């Protein structure tokens, strides 16, 4: 393999494979499947998670939680065993970096 081709393969590898190296193989197979995707695969990952316990801080944190809710980052609710769907669409950001956002629905 030429050096340029090797660099291209490294660029196309997921950010998790790049950072974890051989340790990546120790992840659960489902995590490997999810975290091996890159923007070049053009595949979205859809999943369902469960928050075992959701709590919040003091009363003065509420405005921040409500603002975070507008962008699906935070939410002001509390409870236990709360299911939440999420999706991940990998893309290259404006700086050419591999990005893997997890968007809670």
The most confident of 22-26, 66-70, 71-75, by mean pLDDT: 22-26
End-to-end CA, the chain: 43
- Of 7 and 39, the structure prediction assigns the larger pLDDT to 39
Dump pLDDT digits (tens) for 38-67: 788 888 888 888 889 988 878 888 888 778
Distance of alpha carbon 9 from alpha carbon 13, whole angstroms: 6
How many C-alpha atoms does 105 have within 13 Å on its Cβ side? 9
Distance of alpha carbon 39 from alpha carbon 100, whole angstroms: 8
Distance of alpha carbon 51 from alpha carbon 73, whole angstroms: 14
Q: Which of 105, 98, 104 is nearest to 36 (CA)?
A: 98
CB-based contacts of 35: which residues, under 8 Å, 6+ apart? 14, 16, 17, 24, 27, 100
* Number of other CB atoms surrounding residue 79 within 10 Å: 9
- Of 9 and 71, the structure prediction assigns the larger pLDDT to 71
């Amino acid at each position: 393999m030429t050096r340029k081709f090797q660099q291209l393969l490294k660029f196309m590898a997921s950010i998790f494979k790049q950072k974890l190296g051989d340790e990546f193989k120790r992840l659960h197979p489902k995590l490997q499947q999810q975290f091996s995707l890159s923007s070049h695969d053009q595949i979205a990952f859809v999943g369902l998670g469960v928050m075992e316990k959701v709590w919040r801080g003091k009363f003065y944190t509420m405005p921040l939680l409500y603002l975070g809710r507008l962008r699906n980052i935070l939410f002001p609710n509390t409870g236990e065993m709360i299911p939440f769907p999420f999706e991940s669409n990998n893309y290259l950001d404006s700086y050419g970096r591999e990005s893997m956002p997890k968007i809670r629905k």
